[in-house]
Structure 1
Amino acid sequence: MTTDGNGAGVGGSADAPTPAGPVGARGGRRAAPTLRQVAAAAGVSRATASRVINGGHLVSDQARAAVEAAIAELGFVPHPVARSLATRRTDSVALVVPEPNERLLGDPFFGHIINGLSLSLEAADLQMVLVVVRPGSGQDRAVRYLTTGKVDGAVVTSHHREDSLNRRLVESGLPCAFQGRPLGVDSACYVDTDNVAGARRAAEHLIASGRRRIGTVAGPADMAAGIDRLTGWREALTAAGLPVDAVEHGDFTVAGGTAAVQRLLRRHPDLDAVFLANDLMASGALGVLAASGRRVPEDVAVFGYDDLGLAATTTPPLSTVVNPVERMAARAGAMIADLLAGGEPSSAPVILDAELVLRASA
């Protein structure tokens, strides 16, 4: 079996001749026509030609007629082995999490992804398989597993700029959808929340409430959520004519947020508000502020991001931005199910709106 650039299985060999190849002008047997030639003659993509050959759906009558005419004209005969491989399905989709186990088990973000994706795939009669990818050699092992027929497709989350996993999966032809904006690959098959707008609205709320020395603990600088939420914070402060120098980076963990806020307060003891790029880091900030004798929100207002349960249980409860993780995961599941059913890849990502939830911390 070969795959096209969109990961669609194809019904004929793109290179090897079949035993029934046509006879050339000199009496020799010339190479059999390939799927690529059929697609070119029909004026369609290889994925569309493959769907026609393999009996797939979501093909227009015009495209189907063009492919069938090209097949007849070229004498294309699907390779029987390739065709059987093309239609072989495992009815399973991998949720790929390129993070260490402690992140997966300690961050409610991932639990919400698992719940949203598994329910979405269940509705499409697909089974979710969890694949945790550890740094180093774990990536090679995961790529081998994912690209050798163990699963039909993958939903990938938690993307890092220098991580080659996304690129390797896309280049392999495996049907992929991404939860969150992927870095390092050109793909519109992803679902995300408007992280820039969410962070901007949180900062604008702090400004509107009278705060003038607003710091931030941004997420990792190699992740889209960390980059975009920092951008939104900067946009709001710049528009209000406020300084944007009070920035530290954390790793989306309680410990990381605690250490980052300690550094931030040492450098900028005059802060009267802090926006943190997720609620775990914000909960760490609350502990640091209490230990330093600063009252929340009277002395320092605190704003988080996610609203995945933790924010309502802190002291005081956190104001935060809603990160609709389960809805995003469900939409990513619908994307991959559509791809596996023969649908065309998305031409534009799905971006969900960001909403504020105001509680006592701000």
Structure 2
Amino acid sequence: MADLPTLAEVAAAAGVSPATASRVLTGSVRVTTSTRRQVHDAMSRLGYVRRRAPRGSTARRTDQIVAAVVCEQTPRLFTEPYYARLLSAAEEVFAGHGVPLVVMTATPATAAIAAPPLVAGAVDGVLLIGARARHPLAVTLAASGIPVRSAGRPPDGVDLPYVDMDNRDGGRQAAEHLLLGNRRVIATIAGPPTLPAARDRLDGFRETLRDAGVTDMPVAYGDFTHASGAHAMQWLLQRAPRLDAVFAASDVMAAGAIQALRRAGRKVPDDVAVVGFDDAPIARHTSPTLTTVRQPVEEQAALAARMLLMALAEGEAPKGNPVLPTELIVREST
């Protein structure tokens, strides 16, 4: 087995001095952003992992720390119910094993800042949440050699162990429910197409409709916010004024769609049936209450956390990528 690259080799590959590379690892402010990026890129190429204190084989270390990295802008972390549910359940598992959990965000624009401390040994493991296609941090973590578990399937081409939901089957269940309700002019409000979960929900929904002979389905895209659901619904009403059903890829977007339908004078479910996805708390507080596809967020988080702890204890990536079932919950909106 080849020796792990040294800091000196990283510095040489980055074209900087070992002292400068060391300052990047310690987070010194005396290093320019471009130099940080050069060192960060060299670490990624070489698979550099900072050597921490030896991991004793006879006693479990008590100074482990894990980072949950949410691939979103910080405001979304505090407004999207999914993240609160997932992080709370994960933290409960880590706390039960005496491992503190720190939370940070990392967009593609901030990945160059977030990656160096993660891959240089500031944390022992990473719980990656919501990585989209071409997210540089996901690529870096996959090459870093540190234990990582992704909550949700990572983007195509990124080899990271994960725990996923059966989003495709959730889309199928939503489509079958609307078809059984004799809805025929059906539209959907999809999530961001670069997010694997959103793409799977759309694919499962669309394929089920096609199998039933419904081929002309208008699609609008939102970003899982209430406003994007309302705007998408307005656009769909212009595109397909006779629509009688809509599937939204999140409950928050579905709530926005219901509001837009009410403003347009359409009754739910008499004129338009609405199905959401998540079974978030908001699903029980919309008027009418929301039919939705339940995803076991807390179970996903707890399982991902336990598997990350296993990787920390055993020093190797967990085997297999569990996919948890989704379930249609019928309420008043259909």
- Whether TM-score is above 0.5 comes out as yes
Normalised by the length of structure 2, the TM-score is: 0.81
Q: 1:188 to 1:154 in 2, by over 3 A?
A: closer
Q: Name the structure 1 match of 2:267.
A: 295
Pair 1:115 & 2:88 matched: yes
Q: Name the structure 1 match of 2:150.
A: 178
Q: Distance in 2 between matches of 1:82 and 1:348?
A: 27
Alignment counterpart, residue 239 of structure 2, candidates 252, 262, 267: 267
Q: Name the structure 2 match of 1:99.
A: 72
Q: Distance in 2 between matches of 1:83 and 1:252?
A: 39
Question: Are 1:98 and 1:134, in contact at CA under 8 Å, matched by a contact in 2?
Answer: yes
Pair 1:236 & 2:170 matched: no
Q: Name the structure 1 match of 2:218.
A: 246
Q: 1:299 to 1:266 in 2, by over 3 A?
A: same
Q: Distance in 1 between matches of 2:156 and 2:132?
A: 9
Q: Name the structure 2 match of 1:161.
A: 133
Name whichever of 84-93 and 292-301 sits farther off.
Answer: 84-93
Q: Distance in 2 between matches of 1:316 and 1:202?
A: 17
Aligned length: 287
Question: Are 1:90 and 1:152, in contact at CA under 8 Å, matched by a contact in 2?
Answer: no
Question: Are 2:269 and 2:332, in contact at CA under 8 Å, matched by a contact in 1?
Answer: yes
Secondary structure of 2:207's counterpart equals: helix
Aligned residue runs from structure 1 range 299-338, under 5 A: 299-338=271-310
Question: Are 1:321 and 1:355, in contact at CA under 8 Å, matched by a contact in 2?
Answer: yes
Structure number with greater Rg is 1
1:225-271 CA deviation, whole Å, 9 max, x = no partner? 11000001111101111124311111111111111111111101110
1:174-220 CA deviation, whole Å, 9 max, x = no partner? 11000000004443621111000011101100100110111001110
Question: Are 2:142 and 2:160, in contact at CA under 8 Å, matched by a contact in 1?
Answer: no
Question: Are 2:152 and 2:163, in contact at CA under 8 Å, matched by a contact in 1?
Answer: yes
Structure 2: gaps of 5 or more residues: 7-49
Question: Are 1:189 and 1:335, in contact at CA under 8 Å, matched by a contact in 2?
Answer: no
Aligned residue runs from structure 1 range 1-362, under 5 A: 84-85=53-54, 90-136=63-109, 138-187=110-159, 189-342=161-314, 344-362=316-334
Question: Are 1:276 and 1:304, in contact at CA under 8 Å, matched by a contact in 2?
Answer: yes
The Cα shift of 1:145 comes to 1.6
Q: 1:15 to 1:151 in 2, by over 3 A?
A: closer
Q: Distance in 2 between matches of 1:96 and 1:90?
A: 19
Paired letter, 2:64: D
Q: Distance in 2 between matches of 1:162 and 1:14?
A: 26
Q: 1:84 to 1:122 in 2, by over 3 A?
A: closer
Question: Are 2:186 and 2:217, in contact at CA under 8 Å, matched by a contact in 1?
Answer: no
Paired letter, 1:119: E
Question: Are 2:138 and 2:158, in contact at CA under 8 Å, matched by a contact in 1?
Answer: no
Paired letter, 1:116: A
The Cα shift of 1:346 comes to 3.2
Q: Distance in 1 between matches of 2:156 and 2:138?
A: 7
Normalised by the length of structure 1, the TM-score is: 0.75
Q: 1:108 to 1:337 in 2, by over 3 A?
A: same
